[in-house]
Structure formats: structure tokens, C-alpha cells
Amino acid sequence: MKIVVAPDSFKGSLTALEAAQAIETGIRRVLPHAVVDKVPMADGGEGTVQALVDATDGQIITQQVKDPLGNLIKADFGILGDRETAVIEMATASGLPLVPEDKRNPMLTTTYGTGQLIKAALEKGCKNLIVGIGGSATVDGGAGMAQALGAKLLDKDGKEIPTGGGGLKNLHSVDVSQLDSRISSASVVVACDVDNPLVGPKGGPAVYGPQKGATPEMVEKLDAYLDRYADIIKRDLGVDVKEAPGAGAAGGLGAGLMAFLNAELKSGVDIVIEASGLAKHLDDADLVITGEGKIDSQTIYGKTPIGVAKTAKKFGLPVIGIAGGIADDASVVYEHGIDALISIISYPMTLEKAVKNADQLLADAAERAIRLVVIYL
């Protein structure tokens, strides 16, 4: 019997690989000779780099970059097993947790460090880039990212504008003549699960600005700056990003990646499924086990278990979902490819205890699941 184990991480306790290993432990208590194929998964957010590196036998690269306030920090990105694909989580260089609450100001914060990670990946010979853009501290439209890659964002006097969303106030023209030449031959895919436009009531500044420290006055200014930024990009680069779905993601980084790197925005879990080669693992499988920390009605909106389940159903395979918690409204997942749900919580316990013993609890849950399966073998 071949069982494909493809969970997401259990946030705060287990990486996706550690979760897969725990599930394998439970399986082997019942079926010691089963073929267990572990494929760590993610949905494009936190943990995507580690999951894809683990799934493809890749490597983690550490790079010194600038954080959102311009301080030097160390940030990681991954190179997958093909040695040509890099996966970058912008939050490691430009994420909100990197900025103390009392210093959060999207007028100042920049995506420059994300651009440095992209440049480092190009320098390693990577021709395919996967960029996850959740959790940013910025509303600069990806301007800092572009500057790090050689783009010139100039004021009316031909001088480089400052980094940060506030710097866009003085933007007059964009010059990409010195943009890193390797970008033209690179394929860039962005993990993005929101469809916000760049500006307007549903745009990046209005929807995401406040959580990054923007006051109502800042939101109004940043919206105006990005509106003009989009007009200048359209005039100078011939790319219309203002209304593009996802352009407002990560404070407009979605727009910047589309404009300067010709990036394509896709569902995060779909990117991971493709990059990990999940379909090849499912081709001769008999059963699929997936899971994550919590399964609820929101799981059907681009989360790992549903992405795995939909792929498994293309092969007619049964799917079991294991979770740390199963919400009252989780039954909706049965309409989207998951056939059964198992909780790792077998008796009342504190969250602290569940997190601390997640590997044992997950192994026990997997054993219970497989014992039910073998009844019908």
C-alpha cells in the first residue's frame, strides 16, 4: 500500500516535514511495510520556503539584507532541488514582525530587502523565482524592491527618491535601463491569495495600511501616491497595474513585481503543488493524508488541505485530513475533496500541552486513522 502524506505545517509546533514524519510514525505502527511518500506542503505563506526545500531536497541560503527600516539583518531564501528555482518569502526581509510596534510607519518602511533577496537568487543562477508576499510591513508599491534591482525612481530633478511609501510623493519618472539584466530571462511567479487592486476603497493602502501603522491621513496620502505611481509606470513602462487583481497585495508589492519583473500572480497552494511535483507522487498512490493546525470553513479558500485534496481527486484517491483543531463549521470541506477528518486532540488538554506534544498527538491520530482504513482492506 502506498500512502502519500502531504500536510502543511502545524504553526507554532511542527514544520510540514516534521508533521509528515509524525504521521508516518503513526502509519507504521499499523502498516510497517507500507510505502509512505512524504511531500511537505504550504499555501504560499509562512513556511513555504522550508516546505519546498524539504520536499525537493533543496537548500536554505542566508543573505544579509536591509529590513523595512533600513537596518542590516540576515534573511533566508530557498533553492529547490532543481538548483534553478528559488523560493522567497518577502516577510523574512520586509515583514511586519521585523518592525517594533512603536516604529511602524509605511511612509518609511521599504521592500528594498526583498529586492536584495531576489538579486541574491539571480546571482546563484536561479532562473525561476517563486515569491510569497504575505505579511509585509510596507506600502511602497514594491518601489524599494525595484530600486534594489537597479531600477531608478527619479524626482523632477533626476535624483533618486527616498525609499518608503512616502518617497513616492516626489516620483516623476521611472528608468529601468539599469535593471538587473537577468530579470528579462527569469520566470517570476508570485504566491498571492488576495485580489485587491492597487488603490481605491479596496486597495492596498485602505485595506492593509492600518495594520502596518498607517493613520487615516497616511492612508489617504499613500493611496494618492500609489495612484500616481501606477500612472507613471503605465507611461514609462507600458504596464497597467492599477486595477490588476492582487496589485494591492503586500502594500502594492504585487503591482511592483508585475511592473518590474513581469511576474504572474497565482494561488499560493497551486504554486507549491506544482513546485513540489505532488501529482507525480499521487500517480500510483492508494491513500492521501493531509492536514494543518486548524481546519474550518475558511480552509476551502486556498488552504493546503483543500489544494491537496483537489489534486488527489484527479487520481480518484481517498483523502483524510488531520488537524490540531476541527471547527464546528469544518464539514464544508467534505464538499471539496476531503473524505474524513481526524483531530489530534484525544482528550481535554491545554493549548500549551497540545503544542508541546504535537508530534506524539499527530502520530497517535494517524494511527487511529489507519486502523479505521485497514478494516476495509
Predicted pLDDT of residue 46: 83
Give Cα separations from 74 to 77, 93, 119, 189 (angstroms). 10, 8, 15, 24
Compute the average pLDDT of residues 84-110.
96
Compute the average pLDDT of residues 290-319.
95
| pLDDT interval class at 332 (50, 70, 90) | very high
Residue with cell 483523502: 319
DSSP assignment letter at 345: -
| pLDDT interval class at 11 (50, 70, 90) | confident
φ and ψ at residue 23, rounded to 5 degrees: -65, -40
Higher pLDDT, 45 or 305: 305
Q: What are the structural domains, with CATH classification, of the chain?
A: 2-39+277-374 (3.40.50.10350), 48-268 (3.90.1510.10)
Terminal CA-to-CA distance of the chain, rounded, Å? Answer: 10
pLDDT digits (tens, 9 = 90+) for 108-129: 999 999 999 999 999 999 999 9
Predicted model pTM: 0.90
Residue 377 has pLDDT above 80, yes or no: no
Predicted pLDDT of residue 44: 86
Q: Is 141 left (phi over 0), alpha (psi -120 to 50) or beta?
A: left
Predicted pLDDT of residue 301: 86
Query: For residue 290, which of 268, 336, 323 has the smallest C-alpha distance?
Result: 323
Q: What is the mean pLDDT of the chain?
A: 95
Compute the average pLDDT of residues 4-13.
93
Residue with cell 530571462: 185
